[in-house]
Amino acid sequence: MLEDLIQLHRAGRLDEAENGYRQLLAERPDDAEVLHLLGILRAQRGDLPDGLKLVTRASKLAPDSATCQHTLGEMYLSERRLDAAAQAYEQARLLNPNLAAAHAGLGQVAMLRGDTDAAETHFKVALRADENDVQALTGLGNVAQARGDSARALQLLAQAAELASDDPLIQASYARAMLDEGMLDFAAKALDNALTVKPDYPLAQVLRADVFVRKGDFAAALPVIEALLARGEQVAAARTGLGDIARAQGRYDDAIAQYDEALLAEPNLHHAAIRRADSLARSGRVAQAIEDLRRYIEGHPDGVKTHIALAQLLMQAARQDEALAVWTAAEARWPDDVNVKAQHALALDRAGRHDEALAQAELAAASPRPAIALLRARGALLAGDPAAAVQRLQRIDERQLEGQPPRLARRRLRLLGLAFDGLEQWSAAVDAFMQAQRMTAGHLPDLVPLDAATCDAMQKSAGEPELAEAPDPAPLFLCGLPGSGVAQVAALLADQPGWFVRRERFEAAPDFINAPFDPRLAQPLDQAALALLARRYRRPLERAQVPADTHIVDWIPVLDARVVPAIKRALPGARLLIVARDPHDMLVDWMGFGWAQGFSMPDPLTGARWMQHAAAHLEQAARLLPAFRADPDALLATEGGAARQELAGFLGLDQLILGPLARGARRGGGGLPTCFPAGHAEHYRELLADAFAVLENRGQP
């Protein structure tokens, strides 16, 4: 009869099973097995005190029953009576050393105490006894999640969820791992599964609210959170949810207050501490965020994510040495954590310690992070192994780049183009480079064609009287087409004592020179109008506290020649330095390395036509201002003394110093070149024949 009742119990026919158990107990009141089964059933029906009372009695009647002790442990654990739970699980383990569930229970206790190392040990023992132990798989998944290894957590929890599709706890744990990976829709599906089985399950409810918050649906999240708080369930997680809503709305003080409440309810809640620090940083209190998070870590040193957050805040505050020390300590504490190794490598790279970063990236080769694959590909290119670079770049799952900053995908394509170039696979290189170009947001500035009448009018306007009382020294305007290497010449000039290179034109500082052309500049300008233009030009230099006697190099990204007459008259003595290389090399460099100003090349033919228009504007400007044409290939060559001396003469200098900025100008921050060598464009002549024809004036400009 008992076996029949057990089958009813397993089938969920709880009323029938309970009646049967009670009938048996009426006949055999000291039957430990029946008391144990009835206690489990009562707990399943929500009456945990009665269930615990029944199982406790059963354990006293059968003190050698490991199963009874394990059930006691489960019940104590559900009440968060960790000491009692640990004692019961330990007794079960002693009674039956092969009882995997006892080790899984001890692992859960260790996790709740924040001891992930002990938890991992117990879960691994349980898994060795039964490779399909869902509690052990779930526990190891939660350990991996606590350590920041979301990919490993997801793998383990997916396995557990497949084995126990009707277990709400496991489905909720699986959902939490997917939330950490940003897989919101999949997490929502797992939580819906959990709530279908157990609609009032607080953990699943609070995680479902978290999904709503992350999707920005605060109206859906708030009732769930408020109901949980009213019932006193999942208080810490619910308070964290309220903090997340306030943080998303920019109410940082409210967010901090909610995170404080969450940490009061659950002091070991790492993500609440991290988000509290983030709220402080977002409200401009970065130093306080760092110190508060550092104090939290001192009291709760086991959270890898808190160490990561602290290091990132230190990097944000430009305290790179401190940040790298945190990374080093975290790596020593969690030597098997690939995510820590990966982020350490990326931090080294941001700190400019590129060789160390590349070495560290190799230690983190197993990381799924696209940024690590990019770093390792760069290392392969620097080592002269473009085939390895292609292999590493092609392993990146493009879905991983979705939702990431576009620069990552663009960097991947440019590295891929450079790798194909190194393999002399020219067509594949063009395809990769142009895909990167199409991912660049900036559109080419409009430049009107300069007809003869416009040029004659400009010449006439430039001959009108100049500003009578102009300050010295006059600026030097630095211009160059995309791919010209103008940044390299800017670095050379910045190396010269007493010279200041004005670069903010790339971001803002619009005036009459780099703002869209104002037709009023083509009208007659009297002395008052010229003085106003001169003041507008000098004002940002004064705000930057540039000394009045400093030689100004004004780097203009795109020069519309129609402003040059106004420049000549309002800034008497202004000169023009045009940087240019072979136009074919410039076009290919623009295609391969992009343009610092962010303007994209729609296609090589359109790029060539735009370059012809821009070159015509520079030619016209050179007819109106004293001008010098510089080739960076000659200027920066070791044997380029003659070219540098000639430019020095134009600038009024005895000599040009080839300083550290110029010496490093042909290498990017990571060590890769910033341009192809002179003549490299010939490899692309056949593929870019139409564009090259335009540059050679054999096609329609």
Owning domain of residue 526: 452-695
The per-residue pLDDT of the chain, averaged, comes to 89
The 10s digit of each residue's pLDDT in 636-656 is 988 888 999 999 999 999 999
- pLDDT attached to residue 140: 86
The 10s digit of each residue's pLDDT in 435-446 is 999 887 677 888
Helix (H) or strand (E) holding 553: strand 551-555
Task: Determine the angle formed by the axes of helices 82-95 and 100-112, rounding to 10 degrees.
Answer: 160
Share of the chain above pLDDT 90, in %: 55
Whether 503 is covered by a domain: the verdict is yes
142 pLDDT band, cuts 50/70/90, is confident
Find the DSSP H helices in 62-149: 66-78, 82-95, 100-112, 116-129, 134-146
The 10s digit of each residue's pLDDT in 353-409 is 999 999 999 998 888 788 899 999 999 999 999 999 999 999 887 777 777 778 888
CATH number for the domain spanning 616: value is 3.40.50
| CB-count exposure of residue 281 (10 Å: 0-12, 13-18, 19+) | buried
- pLDDT attached to residue 77: 82
Whether 166 is covered by a domain: the verdict is no
Average pLDDT over residues 508-515: 77
Whether 332 is covered by a domain: the verdict is no
State whether the Cα torsion 346-350-351-357 is positive or negative: positive
The pair phi, psi for residue 507, each rounded to 5°, is: -110, -45
Total domains in the chain come to: 1
Pick from 9, 69, 1, 11: nearest CA to 42: 9
pTM equals 0.69
Whether 363 is covered by a domain: the verdict is no
Whether 384 is covered by a domain: the verdict is no
Whether 97 is covered by a domain: the verdict is no
Residue 609 reports pLDDT greater than 90: yes
HSE, side-chain direction, 13 A CA sphere, residue 244: 24
State whether the Cα torsion 582-586-588-589 is positive or negative: positive
User: Would you state the structure tokens that stand for residue 356, as one six-digit string?
Assistant: 């160390």
Residue 1 reports pLDDT greater than 90: no
DSSP 134-163: HHHHHHHHHHHHHTT-HHHHHHHHHHHHHH
Residue with token string 């879905």 = 399
Average pLDDT over residues 118-132: 86
Average pLDDT over residues 451-467: 94
Residue 429 reports pLDDT greater than 60: yes
Whether 555 is covered by a domain: the verdict is yes
700 pLDDT band, cuts 50/70/90, is very low
Task: Determine the angle formed by the axes of helices 66-78 and 48-61, rounding to 10 degrees.
Answer: 160
DSSP state of 448: -
Share of the chain above pLDDT 70, in %: 97
- pLDDT attached to residue 509: 61
- pLDDT attached to residue 699: 42
- pLDDT attached to residue 469: 83
Dist CA 362 CA 357 (whole Å): 9
Dist CA 331 CA 315 (whole Å): 17
Dist CA 37 CA 43 (whole Å): 10
The pair phi, psi for residue 365, each rounded to 5°, is: -60, -25
568 pLDDT band, cuts 50/70/90, is very high
- pLDDT attached to residue 678: 93
The pair phi, psi for residue 436, each rounded to 5°, is: -65, -40
181 pLDDT band, cuts 50/70/90, is low
Whether 595 is covered by a domain: the verdict is yes
Q: Over the range 499-530, which residues count as b (16 or more CB within 10 Å of their CB) and which as e?
A: bbbbbebeeebeebbbeebeeebbeebeeebb
